[in-house]
Chains A and B, each alone.
Chain A
Amino acid sequence: MNGMFQNLLHNYEECVSVILFCIGFCMLLFDRNLLKKVLGLDIMDTGVFLLLADRGYIAGRMANIITDGITDASYYINPIPAGLVLTGIVVSVSVSAVMLSLTVRIYREYHTLDMDALYLMMSEKRKGGRV
């Protein structure tokens, strides 16, 4: 147990990424504004990316650009998380673009971004449709 707390102190950067993830998660689920929800999802994304990149970092080594012809692996950090995160960043932008255009359409239909008002209006619409 003591070792675990020691480890948590050493892994403070990963702890920050977990906290970022949780902030984004709370924004996504608590905030009633649809735009803030999209922002929360983006923050969640960056939390995940930070965790991935932290796992690839090795203290005292260089970035993955081969300099001076040294091809020894013990000089460079791990390239795999960098490649994964590079993919993820671009995908997260396209996800937020799709979500923002959905938000615009919802606003045009209902004239509100508030989740509770949307919920009430939608349930009423459903009832109206049934009758």
Chain B
Amino acid sequence: MTIFRILLLTGLLVCAIATACTKKPMQAVIIYMAYSVIMSVVWILLESPDLAITEAAVGAGVTSILFFLTLRQLNLIDRDQKKKKDEEQEGEHE
């Protein structure tokens, strides 16, 4: 059990550092989702099932959705794909 705990905590640290080091905000948000899921398992190990359910629903679910929506509002997702699509459309018009 202690080994599992230490593994999970290492995963937490790795995810946090990866979130800090990633340049693209999209990747950072996805890694943060993984971080939240690991956190909810840690809550189970700490004998707090209430916290585990809340963290899984709120931390991994709703927070990440909010981040994704923000990225969408800022047009930071799929910018390259959209450009490609626009170019194709322009080509068709010609």
Contact = CB atoms under 8 A, between A and B. Distances in A.
Interface in A32-58: 33, 35-36, 38-40, 42-43, 46, 49-50, 53-54, 56-57
A62 B20 CA distance: 35
Interface residues of A, number: 44
A35 B9 contact: no
Contacts, number: 105
What size tier do the contact residues of chain B reach? 35 or more
Contacts of B20: 23, 26-27, 31, 36, 40
9 A-B pairs with least C-beta separation:
A63-B47, A100-B70, A35-B25, A23-B16, A16-B9, A82-B48, A27-B20, A57-B46, A104-B73
10 contacts: A16-B13, A36-B20, A42-B32, A46-B39, A56-B48, A63-B48, A63-B49, A89-B54, A96-B66, A100-B70
